[in-house]
Structure 1
Amino acid sequence: MANAMSKSEQVQIDDLEVTLIRSARRKRLSLEVGVKGVQARAPSRMRLGAIVAFVQSKRAWIDQHLANVPDIPSNPEFSDGVSIHYRGTPTLVILKPGSKAPVKSTSNGIEVPVSESHLPLEVSAKTKLIKWLKQQTRAELEVQVARFAERMRIPRSPHQSIRVRDYKRRWGSCDAHGSLSFNWRLILAPPEVLNYVVVHELAHCLEFNHSRRFWAIVEQEVPNRKEYQQWLNQYGITLYQL
């Protein structure tokens, strides 16, 4: 996501590590707490002392929200019958040893064929599942980008690509030429969250910053965009179970 005219640095405030993001366009100081930790967004000319005092005054609020942030998954076990989120819904993964059928979504879960391989069965199945999920992500993104681009009156050319990437710390990006990139794990999130990220990145084709005009463009299509931002801040880390 674009962050033109913004500068970021890490600041230690008491025992908190805070990401301080300064912007010439920002008029007020604000705090965000989520999977990325504590972020303070401030006007570029605001004194550091004033920012530190503000963060300290909000310490109880910060601690409360940090307690609600999900733990980062650490190498979750992958085996037959494991549950993952797919399009926002808990879904079983069903391994099919010896099957040569393609990966497919059924009423019982996602069936993953596993043939004889030099790799452990679980590793082979996980690789196939992730490849299939990336294909589903791309297919869904192509539909939603086309749909929202038309609604937002944003012309798209064949030179403006849609890429699916294995991002670690972002959900999407838009370059100066209008090409879009998205985190493949968005297919694991509720569809409304994926759509919000699509609208967010398309809006950068019209306004390459996070100004008031930019957010007004986003909110024309996603009036409750703050709800989905909050979802990503609080629960986005759970999409990294694979």
Structure 2
Amino acid sequence: MTEAEIIALPEAGGSCQVQWRRSSRARRVSLRICPRQGAVVVVLPPQAARRAGLALLRANGPWVLARLSALAPANKLLDGGRVMLGGRDCIIRHDPAAAGAALDGDGIVLGGAAADLPGRVVDFLRAEARRRIGVLAARHGQALAVQPAAILVKDTRSRWGSCAPDGTLAFSWRLVMAPDWVLDYAVAHEVAHLREMNHSARFWAHVSRLTPHRNAAAAWLRTYGPTLLRVG
């Protein structure tokens, strides 16, 4: 179970949102930054006391506040705001009379109540991600003579994509905001796992056969991926 609270870090001259998470797999107390929530996550082993996590947090207060302040501003997906689609900057336009959601020039036009706009933008992006990923997975699967058992579009926290032992591929919907060539690499990577469930030389040879963007796309995700997590 995850609990959240604001904790002052007087030694570091500030405060931050903290999420407490107890994990049966953790062997020691640890800290990590959650770009999506703009918070620091304190992970506790089953028997660890919260005071141990608080001590670690305060000992690393300057690092925590520096990392949080370096995050991109949260994008709440409001009318007149902007969101990326395939690496292209799109304006969010709310039209109460519009039916559904649609691309219109340099914008995404969405109907419905204004209060529902952020959720409707996310729904649109998820649907677009599902469509684009499906096209790429079919193309890359044909090239390697493989076919995924299923394709899932999720909102993952730590991985952009995964391949399950049963052949199910899962992707973060947020990849649809990245440039097309980054999405192409992410899909090619997981499809290649249908041939090699490892990261061997044979696996990377399959990836290179499917897409020329491996190194550039991986670098893009390292640099700009956290910004995608700040959307919504």
Show the counterpart of 1:104.
102
Residue 141 of structure 1: CA displacement? 1.1
1:89 aligned to 2:88? Answer: yes
Deviations 1:21-78 (CA, angstroms, capped at 9, x unpaired): xxxxxxxxxxxxxx8xxxxxxxxxxxxxxxxxxxxxxxxxxxxxxx9xx943454344
CA distance in 2, matches of 1:140, 1:209: 25
1:165 to 145, 154, 162: 154
CA distance in 1, matches of 2:175, 2:111: 23
Q: Normalising by structure 1, report the TM-score.
A: 0.65
Question: Runs (4+) of structure 1 moved beyond 4 Å?
Answer: 8-12
CA distance in 1, matches of 2:70, 2:218: 18
CA distance in 2, matches of 1:217, 1:200: 8
Residue 80 of structure 1: CA displacement? 1.6
Amino acid at match of 1:129: V
Q: Normalising by structure 2, report the TM-score.
A: 0.67
Show the counterpart of 1:79.
78
Gaps of 5+ in 1: 1-7, 19-34, 36-66, 116-120
CA distance in 2, matches of 1:78, 1:223: 33
Query: Counterpart of 2:94 in 1: which secondary structure?
Result: strand
Amino acid at match of 2:85: Y
Query: Counterpart of 1:206 in 2: which secondary structure?
Result: coil
CA distance in 2, matches of 1:89, 1:71: 23
Aligned CA distance change for structure 1 residues 182 and 77 (closer, same or farther; 3 Å): closer
CA distance in 2, matches of 1:11, 1:206: 37
CA distance in 2, matches of 1:173, 1:216: 18
CA distance in 1, matches of 2:80, 2:167: 41
Q: Is the 8 A contact 2:83 2:92 kept in 1?
A: yes
TM alignment of 1:25-40, pairs within 5 A:
none
Show the counterpart of 1:149.
141
Aligned CA distance change for structure 1 residues 178 and 77 (closer, same or farther; 3 Å): closer
Gaps of 5+ in 2: 1-25, 36-65
CA distance in 2, matches of 1:218, 1:108: 32
Query: Counterpart of 2:80 in 1: which secondary structure?
Result: coil
Residue 100 of structure 1: CA displacement? 4.5
Residue 186 of structure 1: CA displacement? 1.0
Percentage identity across paired residues of the two chains = 32
The number of residues matched between the two structures is 176
CA distance in 2, matches of 1:148, 1:181: 15
Residue 92 of structure 1: CA displacement? 0.4
The structure whose RCO (Cα within 8 Å, separation 6+) is larger is: 1
**CA RMSD across the alignment:** 2.9
